[in-house]
Amino acid sequence: MALIKSLRGFSPKIAEDVYLADNATIIGDVEIAKGSSIWFNTVLRGDVNSIRIGERVNIQDGAVVHTLYEKSVAEIGNDVSIGHNVTIHGARIENGALIGMNAVVLDHAVIGEGALVAAGSVVLSGMRVEPGCIYGGVPAKFIKKLDPTQSREINRKIARNYLMYAGWYKE
């Protein structure tokens, strides 16, 4: 069973149908909306500020979501995929975005709707990744504009697949 811990008067609020892997850790001021999945070894540490996760979000194995004390919050929109071993630190990820494996997104960065951050990239503090674009590298830079229909379909397919995968574990 996942570790769900209240801290500093805050208790995680988790929608009834959210899938939590057995060793996921959810602490403090965290809200997770319906249809989302939090995978193995993932840590959502709302100890110093708030973390808000939208609907149908998948946060994959080994990811960490955290914030800066009294300075940043983490906000993840709907239909977002956060890849394996990603670190999101006090950033905003807008609807339909995809964050590739081992990427790092730092405080006050904004990942636009339908954007893709390539695997292994580092999005610096305060940076804005434009909607519907691919950014990659260290530090992350603009690579190209995505075809909006293709981007939406790929990102939605991944989000839907994670709904299916979570169902396998709930059986």
pLDDT per position as a tens digit, 54-103: 999 999 999 999 999 999 999 999 999 999 999 999 999 999 999 999 99
- Give me the pLDDT at residue 73, please: 98
Question: What mean pLDDT is predicted for residues 7-22?
Answer: 97
Tell the residue number behind the tokens 């500020």, with chain if given.
49
Closest CA to 90 of 42, 153, 47: 47
- Give me the pLDDT at residue 105, please: 98
Which helix (H) or strand (E) segment is 22 a member of? none
The CATH number of the structural domain formed by 3-170 is 2.160.10.10
Distance CA 149, CA 33 (A): 25
Distance CA 119, CA 25 (A): 23
Q: What is the pLDDT of residues 119-162, one digit of tens each?
A: 999 999 999 999 999 999 999 999 999 988 888 888 888 988 99
Distance CA 2, CA 100 (A): 24
Q: Which residue type sits at 3?
A: L
Contacts 24+ apart (CB under 8 A), 14-23: 19/166, 19/169, 19/170, 21/61, 21/169
- Give me the pLDDT at residue 3, please: 97
The residues pairing with 149 across neighbouring beta strands, listed in sequence order, are: none
Average pLDDT, the chain: 95
* Position 171 pLDDT exceeds 70: no
